[in-house]
Structure 1
Amino acid sequence: MRFFILFVISFSFVKAQNHSSSYLALDLPLSARHSVLNEPISLYSNDLESGIFNPAMLNNKMHKQLSLNFVDYFSDINFVSAAYALPLSDFGTIGISVKSINYGEFTETDFTSQLLGTFGANEQIISFGLGKELSELWSVGASVKTLFSNLYDYQSVVIASDLAIAYKKEEKNFSMSLLAKNYGKQITTYTNTEETLPFQLDFGLSKELEHLPFLLTLNYKNIQKWDLTSIYEIPNNGNNENISSKEIKFLNKLFRHIDFGGELSIGKHIQLRMGYNPKRRQELKVDSYLGMVGFSWGLGIKISEFKINYGRSTYHLHGSPNYFSFSTDFSKFYKKQ
């Protein structure tokens, strides 16, 4: 427990970032499973994407795993990523990830609306993570991410780091973790203005039920900032009423930090998943028709040594991104030879 306490104390002095943070691409989920479960912090398993998201979850069960992801986001925006894990002698497990985000093609005009041509915008993220199991119960991890951003004629490079500590009890199918992510700075700026990174301190629990093959995940995110409602101020609703002046109840603020996920295993080859994100629902709902905003669902199928996952997260009534993931474990093929 002393590892956990020291970790909390060391990050209690980190300055909270505000809503002006840039480079939100660092937080975009790319895995189908993790998007449905709302990016679980403490998902200890043999799923490589758990270790890419939280380096303390990297373990020897992930050695020689390959993971590929594709996200059909809004409009013509799409993401792709690839990840691989390998052992580093007896010191730990390395997770390597490459992500590419394509924001599509844009029309360029001058101030008279004269067509000048088209241009694109994209970002790439390369990350290296290392996870080390200190004992049967405790593990730590760290990762370094480099983001290359190209938005029209503006380029920027950022280096950010994630630090994490995890506690797990495999015989009880229980784990918890604390993750500090996106602590870093710009190497080069878009202009001469330095911008902040979206630093975030998150805590998560996961537990598989004893008499039912059901995994439950619970996250408490943005520990460093209590009031998340101030991020989305709307100055006027058209009736000379300042919406942001309305009182936000305590429970409303609390549940903007919390999200849930559940995974039901049907045999060894099928998983059904569902998640709920109260913050997303509060911010993106339409009061006249709430629909399924804030909810997510998906499934996973294992065929031989291959895993295929699909996920869909409802962000708004007018659109929901689709996530596709494929993974395999090359070490299983070596054993068969």
Structure 2
Amino acid sequence: MKCIKPFVTTVFFLMGFQTFVLGQIGGKTSLEFINLPTHARVIGLGGANITSQDVGSQQDINMHIENPALLTTEAHDRLSLAYYGYSAGISNVNLAYGHDFNKLGRFSNLGFSFQYLNYGNIESYDALGNSLGEINASEYSFGVSHSQKFDAFRVGATLKIAGSQLAGFTATGVFLDLGGTLTHPDKDLRFGLVMNNLGFLISNYSPTSEYTMPMNILLGASFKPEKMPVRFSMTLQQLFRRNIAYNDPTRSTTLDANGQLIVEETTAIDRAIRRVVLGAEVIFNKNFNLRAGYNFLRRRELVVTARPAFVGFSFGGVVRIRSFEFAYSRSLAHIAGGTNNFTITLDTKKLFRKN
């Protein structure tokens, strides 16, 4: 298709651009929580996906959070609630809703999302170990999305306000997500490109706090062979950062002539493969699917060499019954245990449709 050429040109430009950016490794950015996966579909597919989407009225309203270009009028009046339980009582709740406001003309197709990450109550101590009581920590974001279609292309944007409250210190920022998709007119084939979290802080935790944008660039593709009930996905993440590898010095066992630990550097191939997230959806029928994913970065950074187990893998599924959709995913991030996500989606236009 002729329309593929400008898309590919843009992709190669961004791939070249990112190699010159001195990005930061995770843990050095403010409001990094807005990059966390929040719903069952993306968690079951490895934690990062910007192209996988169902057809017709079964489209997942949550996917506009990953890529605003995946928001269409087919998701009109779909309401979703997702709960993601982490360890130590930490929880992440996400709401998503889509609605077509006809009176707004070509800007009528809007999606809304709200994320709330609660760290719970944490016991606080002074330098001498005396208890200072409990403190609370939580973070939130609210986003409004819109998309437009141009032949095989669809582009979208999400405007987000994010805030963080950590033991009385607060930070607030405004961010913009930009996304695009290129869909084959006849086949279940889609390419996607997303630039997340372009923005600025309104306020930071303190006047001396450093700030780095939690920016992320993702490139992905999904394809379902015509006579195979499986949709395959591959997503490249963190393309804005030149090197996302973390070399843990505590894992090194090699000593130099002076008895000092030699930090093992990752190879170029290892650094490249850490960006890859693979996913697959087994589509039994329109009411029952299974999902599985593999995250190379998670595997490399969280695996325990003596007991690698299934760290980096994730799996899940979805069941649809009339107006309701129930999805579950489990992500295996460490041998100590995995995390679970439950997502319930309601098609309100079917539920409240007049007879």
TM-score range, shorter chain: over 0.9
Matched, 1:77 2:76: no
Which one of 55, 70, 73 corresponds to residue 68 of structure 2?
55
Code of the residue aligned with 1:233 in structure 2: it is N
Code of the residue aligned with 1:306 in structure 2: it is F
Matched, 1:106 2:122: yes
| Cross-structure match for 2:150 | 134
Code of the residue aligned with 2:294 in structure 1: it is Y
Distance across 2 between alignment mates of 1:50 and 1:100: 17
Q: Tell me if the contact between 1:17 and 1:197 (Cα under 8 Å) persists in the aligned partners.
A: no
- For the structure 1 residues 132 and 88, does the alpha-carbon distance in structure 2 shift closer, same or farther, using more than 3 Å as the test? farther
| Cross-structure match for 1:275 | 293
Which one of 306, 327, 334 corresponds to residue 316 of structure 1?
334
- For the structure 1 residues 170 and 298, does the alpha-carbon distance in structure 2 shift closer, same or farther, using more than 3 Å as the test? farther
Q: Tell me if the contact between 1:234 and 1:243 (Cα under 8 Å) persists in the aligned partners.
A: no
Q: Tell me if the contact between 1:69 and 1:324 (Cα under 8 Å) persists in the aligned partners.
A: yes
| Cross-structure match for 1:33 | 41
Q: Tell me if the contact between 1:204 and 1:218 (Cα under 8 Å) persists in the aligned partners.
A: yes
- For the structure 1 residues 264 and 238, does the alpha-carbon distance in structure 2 shift closer, same or farther, using more than 3 Å as the test? closer
**Partner secondary structure for residue 281 of structure 2:** strand
Q: Deviations over 1:7-46 (max 9, x none)?
A: 5558976855312223220111111111111221112331
Count the aligned residue pairs: 334
Distance across 2 between alignment mates of 1:177 and 1:244: 40
| Cross-structure match for 1:43 | 52
Code of the residue aligned with 1:18 in structure 2: it is Q
Code of the residue aligned with 1:246 in structure 2: it is E
Which one of 208, 214, 234 corresponds to residue 248 of structure 2?
234
Q: Deviations over 1:79-108 (max 9, x none)?
A: 111111112434252110111110111111
Q: Tell me if the contact between 2:160 and 2:174 (Cα under 8 Å) persists in the aligned partners.
A: yes
Q: Tell me if the contact between 1:234 and 1:244 (Cα under 8 Å) persists in the aligned partners.
A: no
Q: Tell me if the contact between 1:218 and 1:258 (Cα under 8 Å) persists in the aligned partners.
A: yes
Structure 1 gap ranges (5+): none
Distance across 1 between alignment mates of 2:312 and 2:251: 23
Matched, 1:210 2:215: no
Q: Tell me if the contact between 1:24 and 1:198 (Cα under 8 Å) persists in the aligned partners.
A: yes
Distance across 1 between alignment mates of 2:187 and 2:253: 55
Distance across 1 between alignment mates of 2:60 and 2:22: 31
Structure 2 gap ranges (5+): none
Distance across 2 between alignment mates of 1:318 and 1:219: 27
Matched, 1:145 2:160: yes
**Partner secondary structure for residue 61 of structure 1:** helix
- For the structure 1 residues 6 and 129, does the alpha-carbon distance in structure 2 shift closer, same or farther, using more than 3 Å as the test? farther
Q: Tell me if the contact between 1:56 and 1:165 (Cα under 8 Å) persists in the aligned partners.
A: yes
Deviation of 1:333 (Å): 3.3
Q: Tell me if the contact between 2:23 and 2:242 (Cα under 8 Å) persists in the aligned partners.
A: no
Percent identical residues = 27
**Partner secondary structure for residue 87 of structure 2:** coil
Matched, 1:291 2:309: yes
Please give the TM-score of this superposition, normalised by the length of structure 1. 0.92
Distance across 1 between alignment mates of 2:334 and 2:225: 32
Distance across 1 between alignment mates of 2:247 and 2:176: 29
Code of the residue aligned with 1:215 in structure 2: it is R
| Cross-structure match for 1:95 | 111
**Partner secondary structure for residue 313 of structure 1:** strand
Quick check: 280-289 or 32-41, which moved more? 32-41
| Cross-structure match for 1:65 | 78
Code of the residue aligned with 1:42 in structure 2: it is T
**Partner secondary structure for residue 320 of structure 1:** strand
| Cross-structure match for 2:31 | 23
**Partner secondary structure for residue 205 of structure 2:** coil
Distance across 1 between alignment mates of 2:116 and 2:190: 31
Quick check: 264-273 or 244-253, which moved more? 244-253
| Cross-structure match for 2:7 | 4
**Partner secondary structure for residue 147 of structure 2:** strand
Q: Tell me if the contact between 1:44 and 1:175 (Cα under 8 Å) persists in the aligned partners.
A: no
Q: Tell me if the contact between 1:21 and 1:195 (Cα under 8 Å) persists in the aligned partners.
A: yes
Distance across 2 between alignment mates of 1:238 and 1:327: 46
